[in-house]
Structure 1
Amino acid sequence: MGSVFLYSSGGREILHVSQPDMVKDIDHWTPSELGKPNYLKKTRKALLGGGLLTVNGDEWAYQRKTMAPEFFMDKIKGMIQLIEDATAPLLEAWENILDSAGGSTEIVVDDYLRNMSADVIARACFGSSFAKGEEIFCMLRKLQKAISQQDAFVGLSALWKHLPTKSNREIRNLVEKVRLLILELAKANVNENGAENAATHNGLLRAIVNGAHGAGHGGTAEDFIVGNCKTIYFAGHETTAVTAIWCLMLLAKHPEWQERARIEALEVCHGRSTLDVDALHRLKILTMVIQETLRLYPPASLMMREALTDIKIGDLDVPRGTIVQVTRSMLHLDKEVWGPDAEEFRPGRFANGVAGACKPAHLYTPFGLGHRTCIGQNLAMTELKLVLARLLSRFAFSPSPTYRHAPVFRLTIEPGFGMPLVAKKL
C-alpha cells in the first residue's frame, strides 16, 4: 500500500489519500463539492443529530455562520473565569484524595477530566453547571460507546441499526431522552415572552435558538436546536478531555518535559486567581506539549469526505459518490514530513510553531482541514492550557504500574482501560 489506494468496505468505494499535494487539493473543494459522507450522517445521527459536523452545502454554511462567532477569541476571553470555576472542583477533589492518602496515590484521571471539560461546555456555552447537564453528558457517553460498538459491524451497520436488538432499543431510548432534555434546557433559557435570559452566560445557546428560526436550514426548529446542541455537548467536551488525558500520560512518562512545563506554569500562575489571555499566551512550553500530544494522539483519527459531484484530486478523477479518507495518524507520523523521530514525544519540534515543525504545514490536522476546521479550537486550546497549568502547579505525575497502553477508537482515540496515574501533591 502506498500513499494513495482504493479499497471497498460494505459496498462503498473508499479512496485513501496521504500524499501531501493531494491532501492539499482536498482543502480546495467546498463542502458542496466534497462534503461529509451521507452514510456518516445516518450512523452518527443518534450522537450528533443534524449538527455542524454532519451537514453539507448551504446548510453547513448557515450553521457555521450561526455558531462560529461564539468561538471567536474575543468571546473566549469572557469564558476564562468560567473555565477557572469548572477547574476548581477538580483541583479540590484531587487535593482531598492526596491529603487522605498521605500526599501520594494512584488516581484514575479519565472521569475527572471528562466531568471538568463537560462543566466548561455547560457553563461557557449553555449557561448551566455540569450538575444540570450531567444527565445529557452521561447519556451521550453511553451513546458514544453503543455507536462505536455498532461500527464494529462494518458493512452491516445500515441493516444492523434497524434490527430490534437490545442495543438499538437502548440507542433509541437515549436519543429521545437527550432530545427532551436539550429542548427543556433551550426553553428554560428563553422566558415565556421570548426575551432572552441575560442573567446567564449562554451566548451559544441563544445563537442556536435564534438560528433555528432562520430560513437557512433544512429541518424543523427543534431538530436544529437538538442537533447543534448535541454536537457541541459531545464534540466540545469529549475531544478536549481525551487530549488532556493523553497530555498527562505523556508528561508522566517524560518527567523532564513535565518539570519544564511546571516551572513555566508556576511562573505564569504565581499569585493569579484567574489567568488572562496574555498569561495563557506566555505558556509556550505547555503549548508545545499540547501540540505534540495532538500530533501523536489526534482525538479524531479519520477525516472522511464524500465526492458530492465529480471532482479531481491531484491527477485523479474522482467520481461522485466516492468516499475520500485521510488518516491523521499517517500524516502525523510520516517520517518524511516529521523526521526520523516522528514516533517519539518531542514537543520541542513545535518551538517555531506548526510551520517550523512540519513541512508542508497542512499535514498537521488535529483540528481538521480547510473550510471545515473545528470552530472550537480556540476554546479547546484555552481550556487545555489553563487546566494543565493549574494541575502542574499543584501536582506531580508519574506512570502507574497498573496502566495498560491500549488506545481504542470509540469515535475518539481514548485509553482502552482508563488512565491511572500516580499523583503527588507538591
Structure 2
Amino acid sequence: MEKVFVAMKLVSSLAIVGIFSWILYVYGNMWLKIQRVRMKLQKQGIKGPPPSFLHGNLPDMQRIQAQASNIAKASNINHSVDQFLAHDYTATLFPYFEHWRKQYGLLYTYSTGMKQHLYVNQPELVRELNQCITLDLGKPTYITNKLAPLLGNGILRANGLSWAHQRKLVSAEFFMDKVKGMVGLMIESAQPLLKKWEQISEGQGGGTAEVKVDEDLRELSADVISRVCFGHSYSMGKEVFSKLRTMQKAMSKQGGFLFAASGFGDILNFLSKKQNEISSLEREIESLIWKLVEERKRECSEEISSSSSEKDLMQLLLESTMSDQTLGKDFSKSFIVDNCKNIYFAGHETTAVAISWCLMLLALYPEWQTRIRVEVAQLCPNGVPDADTLPLFKTLTMVIQEVLRLYPPAAFVSREAYEDIQIGDLNVPKGVCLWTLIPTIHRDSEVWGPDANEFKPERFSEGVSKACKFPQAYVPFGAGNRLCLGKNFAMVQLKVVLALIISKFSFSLSPGYRHSPAYRMIVEPGHGVHILIQKI
C-alpha cells in the first residue's frame, strides 16, 4: 500500500513538473515572439518602457496606478471650478499613459503579458489610422473576448466580414433622414422627465430643488432607444437596461479589464464568483430580449403597415435573418439578440452620460444657458424643437461639441492588426494593438492652443475644421470606417433634450457635487451629477 502511495505521489509530481514545463515552454515561445515584434517597432525608432519577462509592463502599470490613487486620496480637497476643469482626469484614470507620454512622447510601445501595444496620439498618425479601411485592422480580440457576455457577437464586438455585414444592416437605421423622423418620439420620451422636475421644483414653492440627473437621463435615453429601434416603451425593456447596467458595473470592477495578461489568470477569473454573476446576468438578459423579440414578431405579423418604409431596427433584424435561408435557427436568434444588446447598451448609455456632462458644465457656466435659451426662444417660440430647426441651433451645437471635447464618453480608439499593415510611414506587425487616448488628444495644447483645458464653446463657432490645428484630432465618435453608427442619433437627441430642459429650467451645480470622472467602459461622472434646478 505504501509503495502504491509513493508511486501515485511520484506520478503526481511528474505531472506537475510536466505541466509547468509545458507552461514555461509555451510562454517562452510567446515571449520570444513578442520580443521579435518589439524589435521591429524599435528599429523604426519607437521607444518604450523595458518589459519584464512574462508580465511585460503590467507591474509598472500597477505601481504607477497605485501611486496615482494614493496622490488622489491625499489631495482629496474641494477644488475650484477652474482647478478641476484644468485637471486632465486621464492622469488619474490612466496614469501610466501620462507617465510614459512624458518620457517617450506621443508614440511609444509597451507590453502587457503576451500582448504588444502602440500608444498613438500623434494627430497625423491618428488620421492615417482612422482612414485605414482594411478589414485586417479591427477591435482588439482580447478585449472583445472579455466583452462577449455584454455584447455577444453584435456589431460593437464583431470584426472582419461579420462586422461589415452587420454595419451595412444596422447603419440604415441611423441615417440622418431616418433620425429626423425620430424627433417627435424623442420629445414624447422627454415629457415624463420634464414633468418630474417641474413637480420637484413646485414642491419647493417654485424655488430651487436638488436633483441627481443620472438615472433620470438613463431612463429617458433608454425610452428613446426602445421606441425608435425596437417598437416598445422603456417600461417593457426596463429590466433589460437594469441588468445591462449591473453587468457593466460588474465587468468594470474586474481587475485589469483593459490590460490584464492572458493565461491562468483568465481561467481563475472565469471560475470566480464575479464571473458566475456575469454569466447569470448574460442568460437573464438574453431571455428577456428574446421575449421582446417574440412579442415584436407577433406585432409585425398583425400589422398591415409592416411592409412600409417606417420599419424599426428590430424589424430589419428579423427580416434579415428570415430572408437568409442559409442561417440556422440558433444563429438567427443569437444574431438578433446580440445586436439588440449592442444597441440597448451603446444607444442609451453613452448618450445619457453625454447629457449628464453637458448639464454639469452648463450648470457651471450659466451664461451659456442664457445664450441657448435665447436661441431656442428665437427658433422655437413654443420651446419645442422640430427636425427643421435643430440644424439651426448654432450655440447649442457649439456647447455640445465642446463638452464632447472635454468629456468624451468613449476613452479610446483601439485597434488590433490581424496582419502586418502599413499606417502612414509606420509598419505595424501582426498582433500589435494600437491605442489612441481620446481625452488626451482632445486636451493637447499643441492642437487646441494654451486654453485647451478651458470650457470655451466659441472655439467651434466656425465648425471643427477651424476649432483646432488638426481637425482629425477631434474624435468623440471615433473616425473612419468605424465611426460610431449612432453619431447622428446621439447629436439629435442631445439637442432635443438639452433644448427642452434649458427652455424650462435654470440650474446651477449643487454644493454636493463631487467631480470624479470614472472609467466604467465609458467615462462617466463617478458620483453622479447633482444640480439645483428652478422652473422658469
Q: TM-score range by the shorter chain?
A: over 0.9
Gap change, CA 1:356 and 1:33, over 3 Å in 2: same
Farther-moved stretch of structure 1 (71-80 vs 20-29) = 20-29
TM-score (normalizing by structure 1): 0.95
> SS at 1:398's partner residue?
strand
Q: Which residue of 1 aligns with 2:347?
A: 236
- Cα deviation code 1:116-174 (max 9, x no counterpart): 00000001111110100100000000011011111535425761675332211211111
Mapping for residues 154-303 of structure 1, pairs under 5 Å: 154-155=259-260, 159=266, 162-191=269-298, 198=305, 203-213=312-322, 214=324, 220-271=331-382, 273=384, 275-303=385-413
> SS at 1:143's partner residue?
helix
> SS at 2:415's partner residue?
strand
Greater helix content: 2
Farther-moved stretch of structure 1 (10-19 vs 404-413) = 10-19
TM-score (normalizing by structure 2): 0.76
Indicate if the aligned counterparts of 2:133 and 2:480 stay in contact, CA closer than 8 A: no
Q: Which residue of 2 aligns with 1:9?
A: 112
Note the C-alpha offset of 1:202: 5.3
Q: Which residue of 1 aligns with 2:249?
A: 145
Residue 304 (str. 1) matches residue 414 (str. 2): yes
Note the C-alpha offset of 1:226: 1.3
Indicate if the aligned counterparts of 2:225 and 2:347 stay in contact, CA closer than 8 A: yes
Residue 38 (str. 1) matches residue 145 (str. 2): no
Q: Which amino acid aligns with 1:242?
A: V
- Cα deviation code 1:368-412 (max 9, x no counterpart): 110010111111111110100000011111111111110000011
Q: Which amino acid aligns with 1:223?
A: S
Unaligned stretches of 5+ in structure 1? none
Mapping for residues 27-426 of structure 1, pairs under 5 Å: 27-103=130-206, 104-152=208-256, 154-155=259-260, 159=266, 162-191=269-298, 198=305, 203-213=312-322, 214=324, 220-271=331-382, 273=384, 275-426=385-536
Distance in 2 (CA, whole Å) between partners of 1:122 and 1:187 is 15
Farther-moved stretch of structure 1 (89-98 vs 204-213) = 204-213
Distance in 1 (CA, whole Å) between partners of 2:346 and 2:238 is 16
Distance in 1 (CA, whole Å) between partners of 2:111 and 2:317 is 38
Note the C-alpha offset of 1:282: 1.7
- Cα deviation code 1:18-55 (max 9, x no counterpart): 11221111123225121111112211111111111111
Indicate if the aligned counterparts of 2:300 and 2:315 stay in contact, CA closer than 8 A: no
Distance in 1 (CA, whole Å) between partners of 2:371 and 2:299 is 54
> SS at 1:220's partner residue?
helix
Gap change, CA 1:276 and 1:135, over 3 Å in 2: same
- Cα deviation code 1:269-292 (max 9, x no counterpart): 32265x222211121101110000
Gap change, CA 1:90 and 1:310, over 3 Å in 2: same
Q: Which amino acid aligns with 1:7?
A: Y
Gap change, CA 1:193 and 1:282, over 3 Å in 2: closer
Indicate if the aligned counterparts of 1:12 and 1:322 stay in contact, CA closer than 8 A: yes
Farther-moved stretch of structure 1 (104-113 vs 31-40) = 31-40
Indicate if the aligned counterparts of 1:269 and 1:390 stay in contact, CA closer than 8 A: no
> SS at 1:408's partner residue?
strand
Distance in 2 (CA, whole Å) between partners of 1:114 and 1:268 is 28
Gap change, CA 1:247 and 1:6, over 3 Å in 2: same
Indicate if the aligned counterparts of 1:59 and 1:217 stay in contact, CA closer than 8 A: no
Note the C-alpha offset of 1:424: 1.1
Indicate if the aligned counterparts of 2:240 and 2:288 stay in contact, CA closer than 8 A: yes
Q: Which amino acid aligns with 2:353?
A: V
Q: Which amino acid aligns with 1:152?
A: G
> SS at 2:375's partner residue?
helix
Gap change, CA 1:193 and 1:81, over 3 Å in 2: closer
Q: Which amino acid aligns with 2:466?
A: G
Farther-moved stretch of structure 1 (414-423 vs 158-167) = 158-167
- Cα deviation code 1:289-333 (max 9, x no counterpart): 000010001111011100011012233221110001111012101
Unaligned stretches of 5+ in structure 2? 1-103
Indicate if the aligned counterparts of 1:124 and 1:202 stay in contact, CA closer than 8 A: no
Distance in 2 (CA, whole Å) between partners of 1:215 and 1:51 is 20
Higher relative contact order structure (alpha carbons within 8 Å, sequence separation ≥ 6): 1
Distance in 2 (CA, whole Å) between partners of 1:193 and 1:22 is 47
> SS at 1:397's partner residue?
strand
> SS at 2:408's partner residue?
coil
Distance in 2 (CA, whole Å) between partners of 1:196 and 1:371 is 36
Query: Which of these two proteins has the greater Rg computed from alpha carbons?
Result: 2
